[in-house]
Amino acid sequence: MALLQISEPGQSLDPHQRRVAVGIDLGTTHSLVAAVRHGVAECLPDEQGRVILPSVVRYLEASAGGSGRQIGFDALAAQVDDPANTISSVKRLMGRRRDQVVDVDKLAYTVVEDSGMAQIDTVAGRKTPMEVSAEILATLRYRAEDSFADDLFGAVITVPAYFDDAQRQATKDAAKLAGIEVLRLINEPTAAAIAYGLDHGAEGVYAVYDLGGGTFDISILRLTRGVFEVLATGGDSALGGDDYDQALAAWVLQQQGIAADSLDASARAALHKEARRVKEALSAAPQENFRAMLRGRVVEQTVNVADFEACTEALTARTLSAVRKALRDARIAKNEVQGVVMVGGSTRMPVIRRVVGEFFGTDPLVDLNPDEVVALGAAVQANALAGNSKDGDLLLLDVIPLSLGIETMGGLVERIVPRNSSIPTARAQDFTTYQDGQTALALHVVQGERDLVADCRSLARFTLRGIPPMAAGAARIRVTFTVDADGLLSVGAKELISGVEASIDVKPSYGLSDEQIAKMLQDSFSTAQQDMAARALVEARVDGDRLLVATRSALAADGDLLAADERTTIDALMAEVQARLGSEDAAAIEAASEALAKGTEGFAALRMNRGIQQALAGKKLEEV
């Protein structure tokens, strides 16, 4: 007799099976991956114990060998020496045309317009922002799979609340290129609220002030018994810690009488790197010395806290302006806000904490690490979506950041889904034809808050054909907008009398097409063997080095157990491993390590016998 396998809704069929699901904070300056282990969300470290991965990718010439790229700390170290091929802050380019990127000419690398989107010229060829982000995401994926020794089931990836449809789609495209199944995209402030709400049992109205490296978000949320309702969002997708660095760098140049346009890419990179260091130092000290090599001479400038606050005052004021607008949208007075959650590494700046505290009249919440809180919240959501969590009380009500609508006659926008609508959502509105005998209707989908199409963002165009010829105004055409849990849009149109219909999944014209994604995936497959070989080499070196350390420790403790010829044999095997570690042959390193492991088996047995004898010495049988 066949038996049914029964499980709770959303839970794994096998109660002992755990799917590896992670939360990923794909940040402008650095990224993290977190997962729920033993019931607690925690950020996953790399082999050196570092949880943060700098969001930096350096591309190398093919003749340079290796994988052709460096990612994270290795790439960051080369930012000054090779600025043209070291890509940082790529998040600002996601889903953008070149003319939409703020201060694009100030970047140390070259951004061009290609296929309707911003792309980057490197020695390894032209790269899209999605390809660069995919390198970072893939590194985090490998870290998670190594941590759990299992394949990744899926990930919840966070995006700024103010990311529009194009930027969200670009993020999903990057994840697809990295081989990651996206369980959901959630807003960064919402992820932070999840982390704080679950850890502290918070209830009431909260503001999440998220100042990262390249973006600023403000979200007003109501937390009630595990329900996270986003009342309003706002912010600036081109405002973050990078801008504070640039403002300080510009101030130093002004003080020194140096024109910014007289500096080359390497000097600009050195200038901004030093500005970031000074900014971070001023969080703990009243003043710091700015020192950088510019145009062949050392430039020094003493910077105190007052100088820094003065030259960045306009940036801080921009964040508060966005906060006021979000409060108005939520119809909440600032004295109704119970607490302010600080998110993003840039909120470590004392001026930010002071100004925000003065604005709301309460000390901001800084209990959790501002760098990690977004990834931790995403990990909690990922764990639930993978069916690992038994906690069914968590309900996430996110919102769309900008209104969605269609173009009507005269270039006007008819909004169908207003901003700050909870998602997922579906909204419909009826329209009619403009001319007698009209048999087709062109629909232009736009996003924005302005009344004219020219002032809004074009998302997609499609045509409803086959409308029966009727008098103008007789046809009834229902247009339906559906926004899924990731904030991505699909639009359908149906003529209600005849039943003809058409629909489109909105993919921005300057995003990646399915063909482009397929080509990039094919390209990644063509280098997969090379990438696997590079990965195997690193793993072989790490294992060999660990074996050497363990063997040396054992010899230091119990080397007297060995005869002279046995010791000579082991020393020779160790020397062989040491010599092989510098080679590029993973198989040779593994073979040398295996020979050492086999050659020390007898020594290991002698050590075990000694340990047992020492443990039993002086004891009676009954005591044992």
Q: What confidence tens digit (pLDDT) does each residue in 165-224 have?
A: 888 889 999 999 999 999 999 888 888 888 877 545 567 888 999 998 888 889 898 877
Give the domain CATH number at 504.
2.60.34.10
> What one-character DSSP code corresponds to residue 126?
E
User: Packing angle between helix 241-256 and helix 313-330, nearest 10 degrees?
Assistant: 150
Instruction: Please give the pLDDT value at position 80.
Output: 82
Is the pLDDT reported for residue 590 higher than 70? yes
Q: Is 391 a catalytic residue?
A: no
Instruction: Please give the pLDDT value at position 390.
Output: 59
Least reliable range by pLDDT among 22-36, 383-397, 433-447: 383-397
Instruction: Please give the pLDDT value at position 534.
Output: 64
Residue 441 contacts residue 407 (beta carbons within 8 Å): no
Q: Is 188 a catalytic residue?
A: yes
Q: Are residues 300 and 338 in the same domain?
A: no
In-domain check, residue 14? no
Angstrom distance (rounded) from CA 562 to CA 541? 27
Give the domain CATH number at 585.
1.20.1270.10
Residue type, 524: S
Burial tier of 17 (Cβ tally within 10 Å: 0-12, 13-18, 19+): exposed
Q: What is the pLDDT of residues 236-253, one digit of tens each?
A: 877 889 899 999 999 999
Residue 194 contacts residue 214 (beta carbons within 8 Å): no
From the list 46, 91, 165, 243, the catalytic residue is: 91
Q: Are residues 137 and 197 in the same domain?
A: yes
Angstrom distance (rounded) from CA 323 to CA 308? 22
Q: Are residues 234 and 297 in the same domain?
A: no
Domain assignment of residue 235, given as a range: 21-239+315-396
The answer to whether the Cα torsion of 245, 247, 252, 253 is positive or negative is: positive
Domain end (from 516, 536, 558): 516
Q: What percent of the chain has pLDDT over 90?
A: 34
From the list 210, 242, 243, 274, the catalytic residue is: 210
In-domain check, residue 153? yes
Residue type, 412: L
Q: How many CB atoms are closer than 10 A to CB 604?
A: 13
Q: List the beta bridge partners of residue 492.
A: 480, 503
Domain end (from 298, 314, 330): 314
Q: What is the pLDDT of residues 315-328, one digit of tens each?
A: 999 999 999 999 99
Helix, strand, or coil here: 156? Answer: strand
Q: Are residues 471 and 546 in the same domain?
A: no
Q: How confident is the model at residue 437 (pLDDT cuts 50, 70, 90)?
A: confident
Q: What is the pLDDT of residues 351-407, one digit of tens each?
A: 999 999 999 999 998 888 888 999 999 999 899 888 876 554 455 666 776 788 998
Q: Strands across the sheet with 110-114, in order?
A: 110-114, 117-122, 125-127
In-domain check, residue 176? yes
Instruction: Please give the pLDDT value at position 143.
Output: 95
Q: Mean pLDDT over residues 526-538, rounded?
A: 65
Residue 332 contacts residue 205 (beta carbons within 8 Å): yes
In-domain check, residue 132? yes
Residue type, 20: V
Q: Are residues 31 and 146 in the same domain?
A: yes
Which are the contacts of 613, defined by CB distance < 8 A and separation ≥ 6? Answer: none
This prediction's pTM: 0.68
Q: Are residues 323 and 310 in the same domain?
A: no
Helix, strand, or coil here: 623? Answer: coil
Q: How confident is the model at residue 102 (pLDDT cuts 50, 70, 90)?
A: confident
Task: State how beta strands 395-399 and 227-236 pair.
Answer: parallel
Angstrom distance (rounded) from CA 249 to CA 292? 10
In-domain check, residue 16? no
Q: Are residues 492 and 596 in the same domain?
A: no
Angstrom distance (rounded) from CA 241 to CA 73? 19
Q: Are residues 83 and 156 in the same domain?
A: yes
Q: Are residues 325 and 304 in the same domain?
A: no
Residue 243's nearest CA partner among 266, 265, 270, 275 is 275
In-domain check, residue 601? yes
Is the pLDDT reported for residue 508 higher than 60? no
The answer to whether the Cα torsion of 51, 57, 63, 67 is positive or negative is: positive
Q: Are residues 235 and 372 in the same domain?
A: yes
Residue type, 268: R
Is the pLDDT reported for residue 411 higher than 80? no
Q: How many CB atoms are closer than 10 A to CB 594?
A: 14
Residue 171's nearest CA partner among 132, 139, 211 is 132
Q: Are residues 290 and 345 in the same domain?
A: no
Q: What is the pLDDT of residues 512-522, one digit of tens each?
A: 555 555 555 56
Domain end (from 314, 349, 371): 314
Number of independent structural domains in the chain: 4
From the list 82, 131, 173, 188, the catalytic residue is: 188
In-domain check, residue 522? no
Is the pLDDT reported for residue 67 higher than 80? no
Give the domain CATH number at 303.
3.90.640.10
Q: Are residues 309 and 321 in the same domain?
A: no
Q: How confident is the model at residue 309 (pLDDT cuts 50, 70, 90)?
A: very high
Residue 416 contacts residue 404 (beta carbons within 8 Å): yes
Angstrom distance (rounded) from CA 129 to CA 116? 13
Q: How many CB atoms are closer than 10 A to CB 233?
A: 28
Q: List the beta bridge partners of residue 428.
A: 480
Give the domain CATH number at 384.
3.30.420.40
